[in-house]
Amino acid sequence: MKNKKVTITDIAEAMGLSPVSISRALSDQTGISDELKRKVVQKAAEMGYVKSKRNVSARILVLHQTPYREDNSNFSHMMQGIEKALQKEDADYSIEFLDKETQNRMILPYRLSKGFVFDGVILIGRFNLDYAALINEKIPNLIFLTGYSPAYDYDSVWFSFINAGYKQCQYLIDRGHTRIGFVGNRKVYRNKEKQNGIAFALEENGLPVDEALFWESDEDCSAKLRNLVADKRLPTAFICDHDFTAIEFIRALHQHDIKVPDDVSILSSGNTEVSALAQPPLTTMDLNIEYSCRVVVSTLLKRIAEPGKPAENIAVLSTLVERESVRRI
């Protein structure tokens, strides 16, 4: 039987070190003592480690900020997915957080300011275009994960919110719902896409698009709910931009004695940990984050191997997760 290939992660576990430290030691990078490098090289030889077919491991810088304020669990999942994908490719990588002030002041990331050299960079979240251009001057191969903007002329992997909105609305229509509202931050690009998807599904099914039912999540919904109940015009379903928005909206509905899903069905996005714990558990959209992370890394490595290729915008589709917050009419 063929022996399993020894990876950087295997060596890290055997030595009680981080995969980043092992990768740096094997690539003879700075920041690791000569003594530790010697021990790592020796342990790697003992374990039968064989370097990737690439002569030198790709050196990748990961710069991140939380993509959305609600995405705590998904953001952790995303960072873990990126690390796992980089380790699988035997890449030498560093991860660094950048806040808005650093970007606004056009301050280089710490490792770049110290003279570290990288083959590629992954930007996670929404970065200023001027700052992205500054990074791209220092690192020629750049890709975005989330934070997509039509203004970007870089490789990018993001989540197709227009497809998610369409699928969510069609799912509700297939279950007899004809008056469907939306709750979320209507100004951000991802939710403009989602609203377009909802509108397309309504129009294709010959249903009106009622702008009065598309609400800002930071507005006080109490008066609107009260008026709709009084006029007997309450929608039978709302699509929320995120699981946390859905939970907050369900609380507002309960304050008006509106039950979910008996009176109003709720559909959300994210499939975060709280979605399964909500009352009722939320029917939501899973973003397929782990797959997206693998696509980001493979696309960046392709860019490094072929710098002159056209930029790619890869939109990963979400998958519906059915729970108990939607009823069939």
**Token pair belonging to 281:** 């558990």
Q: What share of the chain in percent tops pLDDT 90?
A: 70
For residues 131 and 75, state if they share a domain.
Answer: yes
The number of distinct structural domains making up the chain is: 2
Could you say which DSSP state residue 139 is in? S
Residue 327: inside a domain, yes or no? no
For residues 274 and 293, state if they share a domain.
Answer: no
Could you say which DSSP state residue 218 is in? T
For residues 126 and 210, state if they share a domain.
Answer: no
Residue 65: inside a domain, yes or no? yes
pTM greater than 0.75 (yes/no): yes
Amino acid at 196: N
pLDDT one-digit tens code per residue, 152-182: 889 999 999 999 999 999 999 999 999 999 9
Sign of CA dihedral 254, 259, 260, 264: negative
Residue 153: inside a domain, yes or no? yes
For residues 255 and 296, state if they share a domain.
Answer: no
For residues 109 and 199, state if they share a domain.
Answer: no
**Domain limits for position 195:** 161-287
**Token pair belonging to 43:** 């342990």
Mean pLDDT of the chain: 90
* pLDDT(307) > 90: no
Closest CA to 242 of 171, 175, 188, 305: 188
For residues 133 and 173, state if they share a domain.
Answer: no
Could you say which DSSP state residue 68 is in? S
Residue 324: inside a domain, yes or no? no
Mind giving me the DSSP string for 40-67?
HHHHHHHHT----SSSS--EEEEEE--S
pLDDT one-digit tens code per residue, 92-112: 999 999 988 999 999 999 999
How are strands ordered across the β-sheet holding 59-64?
92-97, 59-64, 120-124, 142-145, 155-159, 313-316
Q: Where are the alpha helices (DSSP H) in the chain?
A: 8-15, 19-26, 34-47, 72-88, 100-104, 110-113, 129-138, 161-174, 189-204, 222-230, 243-255, 273-277, 289-305
For residues 17 and 151, state if they share a domain.
Answer: yes
Could you say which DSSP state residue 152 is in? -
CATH number of the CATH domain containing 221 = 3.40.50.2300
pLDDT one-digit tens code per residue, 15-46: 998 877 887 788 776 667 888 998 999 999 89
Residue 277: inside a domain, yes or no? yes
Specify which residues 121 forms β-bridges with: 61, 142
The answer to whether the CB of 95 falls within 8 A of the CB of 125 is no
For residues 245 and 266, state if they share a domain.
Answer: yes
3-class SS of residue 247? helix
For residues 122 and 180, state if they share a domain.
Answer: no
Say which range, 22-26, 50-54, 270-274, has the weakest mean pLDDT: 50-54
For residues 136 and 167, state if they share a domain.
Answer: no
Residue 322: inside a domain, yes or no? no
For residues 145 and 34, state if they share a domain.
Answer: yes
For residues 272 and 294, state if they share a domain.
Answer: no
Provide the pLDDT for residue 52: 59
**Token pair belonging to 227:** 């008026």
Place of tokens 């493979």: 298
Residue 319: inside a domain, yes or no? no
Strand 284-286 relative to strand 319-321: parallel, antiparallel, unpaired? antiparallel
Amino acid at 165: G
Averaged over 203-232, what is the pLDDT? 88
